[in-house]
Structure 1
Amino acid sequence: MNKTISANRILKNSIFFITLIAITFLILFKDNSIESILKSLKNVNVIYVFLGILCMFLFICCEGINIRRMLRLFSYDISIFRGLKYSFVGFFFSSITPSASGGQPMQVYYMNKDGINISHSSLVLLIELASFQFTTITIAIISFIVNYDFIVSLNTAIKILIFIGIAINCIIFCFILVAIFSKSFINRIVDLAFKVISKIKFIDEKRIIEGVREEIKQYQEGALFINNNKEVVTKVVLTTFVQASFMYSITFFVYKAFNLSTFSFFTVFSLQSILFISVSAIPLPGSVGSSESVFLTLFKTLFPVNTLNSAMLLSRGISFYLFVIVSGIIVLFIRISRNKYYGNYIFKGLYNKDIIREK
């Protein structure tokens, strides 16, 4: 990956991301007083805010643990800090790219720079993705059933968004499973797709076919990986359930931060799981705009009117915006450290050559 191109893409995505945030907050808060929101935030219980931040950090840690756990199966001596590095990299690039499309490719890139084979890192991230899809879908469906009466009382647009979100995530999960376990079925689908692609002009058909075939090969290696490491994969899935639980618990701690206690942990937790699955299919960086809007709709019966906007701001601030900044700083530090390392390496090489010439 070219460093200049990578930097330009990061800059463009960041500008688009920041612009989207600005538009979102201008729309959401055009009829609300910033002073009243800030005043409301000043009265929150900071202990619960800290617990929310801790939950988000543990969410990041769980992915790092899973990455480390699976890479060690391929005999890579990965520390928990390196696992965390890859997790923060994934979070940052997933946040600033549409449909989280940049997260896994950049994780593979940074792992490759650390000497990890691309086929191994791709397979590990595939299993991690499948585990996350399975977990979020399962929790969301259970939450949907438990909160069915509440969901059907919502406006039509939100109900459609929830149904679409669950449906798309289920399709993605099924496609991953089929790609891994059914070689003949996925090849038939790909052959059909290639027939369509071959009729489209200005497309490098050969390059696309080679790329897709390689991806399918990696997916199908996942089946052998799962069969040979069922215990580890089970641990990965269980860790992912814990990971999702940390993320969904943040809103409950925000709820408690405003000294509210009418609704139970499970009610807040389940609504947050539905919110997440609803907006995850929307192709916007970090689901900016959609997450905020759906939050205001789903949680308007839980939070008093005078604290709803503040609660949304605090919840998204903890679960998203704060950690985009933190992960962005970490990514910047990694790039600077790497450039410094290679700069010193090159300098030493030139220095040694000069000494040899002098001799």
Structure 2
Amino acid sequence: MEGFQNKKSQMIGIGIITVLMIAVIAYILKDESLENIVNTMLSIKPMFILIAVTLMIFYILCEGVNIWIVMRALKKDVNLLNCLGYGFVGFYFSSITPSSSGGQPAQIFIMKKDGLSMTSSSLSLMVLLFSHQLVIIVMGILAFFFVPDFSTTYQTGFKLLLIYGFGSNSVILIGILLLIFSPNIVFGILNFFGILVYKLRLVKNRDSIKKKIESSIVEYERGAAYMRNNLNVIVKVTIVTFFQILAMFSIPFVIYYAFGLSKYSYFDIVLVQAVLNISVSSLPLPGSVGASESVFLDMFKTFFGNFVIPGMLLTRIANFYIVLIISGVISLLMYFRKNNEMPGGVETQ
């Protein structure tokens, strides 16, 4: 998987994030007093920032735990510490690529270096993605029922963004569900597109495509059949995922509480954060930089009032920028560890 080793692609992603971050912050602060905002941010106790960052690290560690749960269920000999490392790799590469498209390929690459098959890795990440999408969509739906005046608060542009987010996330959820419980349908579609790309002369060797698809079908059906017969594994992963996402969605509340605000409940803020996540997660922007900041200001201005800009900055520092650096360092360590051929897991049959 060349994507993991492509330094140029990484630098481009980081460069885009940096440019977007500077542009968005400059736009937000153009009519504001930078000194007042900085002083407001420095007025809160560092302990709250530490708590917020810890919650985000917990979020990443939960992904590693879930990978470990699924791999063990698939009878793979894996090391928990390495699985935690896979979580950081996924976060880093998801953050620097549009629509989080680089996270799973990078994880599959590093797992393969540990001796885990691509099929096992892909299946485990598919289960994680399914549970992640399920929890987020359910929490987003709950927001419409329990957050006061939610459906009438926001402008038409934001509502369209929300519809797009719900739609794209739902399509992913349904696709994964079919892949787990009705893989033949999915691979029938793959066969169709395999024939199509051959007829369009995008590839030359039809037999090669057919063999790859058939090989994947056999392995995925074996893994999917196991998951169908062991739904307790999906339940376990979903439970861990619930606490994982709850930790991340709790970060705005920690910052809210740090400012001494208390009018709105923890429940309100967590559900609104769920909607924010749904709205921006599918946008083709690395780390949703720009969109997350702008939507936060719109959605949380009722909660934070005059503290909304420093609240947004502190939230993004805690739930993205600091953890991006941490995950980047850990990903680098994982990469060099693999280059030194230090084994982490062995594929068992």
2:22 corresponds to which letter in structure 1? Answer: A
The change in CA–CA distance for 1:314 and 1:217 in structure 2 (over 3 A counts) is farther
The number of residue pairs the alignment matches comes to 341
**Superposed CA offset, 1:164-213 (max 9, x none):** 11111011110111233224533454455456545646556847666666
Equivalent residue runs for 1:1-359 within 5 Å: 1-2=1-2, 6-147=6-147, 149-190=149-190, 192-194=192-194, 197=197, 200=200, 202=202, 206=206, 219-305=220-306, 307-339=307-339, 341=340
The change in CA–CA distance for 1:156 and 1:333 in structure 2 (over 3 A counts) is same
State the Cα distance separating 1:20 from its structure 2 match: 2.3
State the distance in 2 between where 1:187 and 1:337 align: 36
1:124 corresponds to which letter in structure 2? Answer: S
State the Cα distance separating 1:279 from its structure 2 match: 0.6
The change in CA–CA distance for 1:173 and 1:213 in structure 2 (over 3 A counts) is farther
The change in CA–CA distance for 1:120 and 1:40 in structure 2 (over 3 A counts) is same
Larger radius of gyration: 1
The change in CA–CA distance for 1:58 and 1:342 in structure 2 (over 3 A counts) is closer
State the distance in 2 between where 1:275 and 1:146 align: 15
Could you say what the CA RMSD is over the residues aligned between the two structures, in angstroms? 2.5
2:51 corresponds to which letter in structure 1? Answer: L
- Specify the SS of the correspondent of 2:282: coil
State the distance in 2 between where 1:149 and 1:4 align: 45
Under a length normalisation based on structure 2, what TM-score does the superposition of the two structures give? 0.89
5+ residue gaps, structure 1, are: 344-359
Identify the structure with bigger relative contact order (alpha carbons < 8 Å, sequence gap 6+).
2
The change in CA–CA distance for 1:143 and 1:218 in structure 2 (over 3 A counts) is farther
State the distance in 2 between where 1:113 and 1:51 align: 34
1:178 corresponds to which letter in structure 2? Answer: L
State the Cα distance separating 1:217 from its structure 2 match: 5.5
% identity of equivalent residues: 36
State the Cα distance separating 1:4 from its structure 2 match: 9.3
- Specify the SS of the correspondent of 2:241: helix
The answer (yes or no) to whether the contact 2:96–2:286 under 8 Å persists in 1 is yes
The change in CA–CA distance for 1:264 and 1:220 in structure 2 (over 3 A counts) is same
State the Cα distance separating 1:54 from its structure 2 match: 1.8
State the distance in 2 between where 1:36 and 1:29 align: 11
Under a length normalisation based on structure 1, what TM-score does the superposition of the two structures give? 0.87
State the Cα distance separating 1:151 from its structure 2 match: 2.8
